[in-house]
Amino acid sequence: MQILFWDIDGTLIRSGGAGKAAMEYALTAEFGIPFLHDTVPYAGRTDYIISHDLLQVHGIDPTAENIQRLNRTYLSRLPQELHLRGGEIMPGVVPTIEQAKNSSRITNALLTGNVKEGAKIKLSYFQLWDHFAFGGFADGCITRPEVAQNALRVAQSFFQETIDPQSCWVIGDTPDDVLCARAIGAKAVAVGTGWHSKEQLLATEPDAFVPDFTQARDLLKRWKLL
């Protein structure tokens, strides 16, 4: 069995900035302060770290309670922001995940910095959630490597057997996704649909690089998954 662990933002979808807008709305609505500092990076990071840094740069103590308050309001606002901003599924993603889903040798899973509820809201909006058997999410995790380790544990629980990390492929659009793969000994596929350049992604030495997923079947054959 081969497991494809998919990142979400910048890899499967672009939300049109819905996640960022919902987080910034939550900061203002929950703590009564204006959003002032657009310095916190989002790509490739966990919801916990984003929330922590967003609170900190706005002078709010990033306690566990305050992070929970911010994320609760973020999740309640996220569906509205998705409807306002639309977004899109990345080119070639649907045929790729469908080809994989139709193979008896492949399982689609998630590996994302989103908490599970946020991932479900985003992917359900694009009607993609049901394509994935399980996932590693940022609930209770601070770093992306922690999420990767959790994803591998979830996979082993799902299949009720030890999973060879070399049968796992982590697919993502940031250098952090490659680090996720390395954290569990999996293979890394960097895809150029996010905000990082091809040169930045290749510098992390992924096992494969693709500009997008428009040639789904050819890619799966190249990776010997079909």
What is the C-alpha separation between 177 and 210, in angstroms, rounded?
14
What is the C-alpha separation between 85 and 70, in angstroms, rounded?
21
Burial 86-100 (b: 16+ CB within 10 A, else e): ebebbebbbebbebb
Task: Give mean pLDDT, residues 78-84.
Answer: 96
What is the C-alpha separation between 174 and 180, in angstroms, rounded?
10
pLDDT at 136: 95
| Residue 73 main-chain phi, psi, to 5 deg | -70, -35
pLDDT at 25: 94
- Per-residue tokens: 221: 């054959």
Q: What is the pLDDT of residues 87-117, one digit of tens each?
A: 999 999 999 999 898 888 899 999 999 999 9
Task: Give mean pLDDT, residues 183-199.
Answer: 93
The helix (run of H) or strand (run of E) holding residue 111 is strand 106-111
The pLDDT-based confidence of 226 (bands split at 50, 70, 90) is low
Closest Cα partner for 110 from 151, 166, 157, 168? 151
- Per-residue tokens: 210: 């693709």
pTM exceeding 0.85: yes
Task: Give mean pLDDT, residues 155-173.
Answer: 94
Question: Under DSSP, is residue 220 helix (H, G, I), strand (E, B) or coil?
Answer: helix
Beta strands 88-89 and 13-14, pairing class? antiparallel
Task: Give mean pLDDT, residues 195-221.
Answer: 89
Task: Give mean pLDDT, residues 19-47.
Answer: 86
Specify whether the CB–CB gap between 68 and 102 falls below 8 A.
Answer: no
- For the chain, state the CA radius of gyration: 17
Given CATH 3.40.50.300, say whether it is the number of domain 2-15+88-222. Answer: no
Beta strands in 2-75 (DSSP E): 2-6, 13-14
What is the C-alpha separation between 54 and 131, in angstroms, rounded?
32
Tally of CB atoms within 10 A around 31: 16
Specify whether the CB–CB gap between 90 and 212 falls below 8 A.
Answer: yes
Average pLDDT, whole number, for the chain? Answer: 92
pLDDT at 37: 66
Domain residue extents for the chain: 2-15+88-222, 18-85
Task: Give mean pLDDT, residues 201-216.
Answer: 91
Closest Cα partner for 157 from 178, 139, 181, 133? 133
